[in-house]
Structure 1
Amino acid sequence: MTGLADEVRLYSFPDNIFPYTHSVEFSTAFSSVPVISYGIIYFDMNYNENPRVNVQKESSNTTHVVFQLSTWSDTQMYALGISWIACD
């Protein structure tokens, strides 16, 4: 079994850059498409709006994974971090 892990950290205050697409190139290619697990580790937003955040894996293959990080409605997100792990 092979595994890699890292974090995606985005800071945009005072601008709102979301939605944001982020591609991660693996340091070593996998022999088969890995299983990707991920979770939110922090976020910073405008205190006047409801906290709405969506993190999705858009695609993955043996060499990279693509994440889509977004909000909706009136949410003003200034920072968002996710942690991910890929294992085959």
Structure 2
Amino acid sequence: MIPLFADLRLIAVFICCIGYASTTLCQSGEVNFMSYPKSPFPQEKRIKFERPFTERPVVMYAIKMIDSQYNTNTRIKVKLQWVRPERFSLFMTSAYDSKLFGLGVSWMACP
């Protein structure tokens, strides 16, 4: 059985390595759209990297914030449209009868 402290050391090393990679190789940021009472969606956002990559990077993204009408279903579509070494495009919209007033997306691109 592995002691609890050994697990914590592994987690600390893993977090340290992620932080190092994001500051030297990867780039990250956020996209936020907010508007009330009129929905600003659909939206396409083209994001330019601070430093262009030498090849097409891998882009990961996650929804970080949702502002929707309380009495309807919340259905959201976020799609990575295309990726180039110098920029990429995200498409964000609500789906079906959802009323979406705000959406935040965090992203990270790595070679």
Give the equivalent residue in structure 2 for 1:20: 43
Q: Does 1:46 align with 2:69?
A: yes
Unaligned runs of 5+ in 2: 1-23
| Code of the aligned partner of 1:4 | Q
Q: Does 1:78 align with 2:86?
A: no
After the TM superposition, which segments of 4 or more aligned residues of structure 1 sit over 6 Å from their partners? none
Normalized per residue, the structure richer in helix is: 2
| Larger RCO: 1 or 2 (CA < 8 Å, sep 6+) | 1
Determine if contact 1:2/1:30 at 8 Å carries over to the other structure. Answer: no
**1:18-57 residue CA offsets vs partner (Å, 9 max, x unmatched):** 1110000111100010000000001000112101001110
Residue 13 (structure 1) shift = 1.2
| Code of the aligned partner of 2:83 | S
Unaligned runs of 5+ in 1: none
SS in 1 for 2:56: coil
Normalized per residue, the structure richer in strand is: 1
Give the equivalent residue in structure 2 for 1:87: 110
**What percentage of aligned pairs have identical amino acids?**
28
CA distance in 1 between partners of 2:95 and 2:74 (Å): 9
CA distance in 1 between partners of 2:81 and 2:35 (Å): 22
* Aligned positions, number: 88
SS in 2 for 1:48: coil
Determine if contact 1:54/1:71 at 8 Å carries over to the other structure. Answer: yes
Structure whose CA Rg is larger:
2
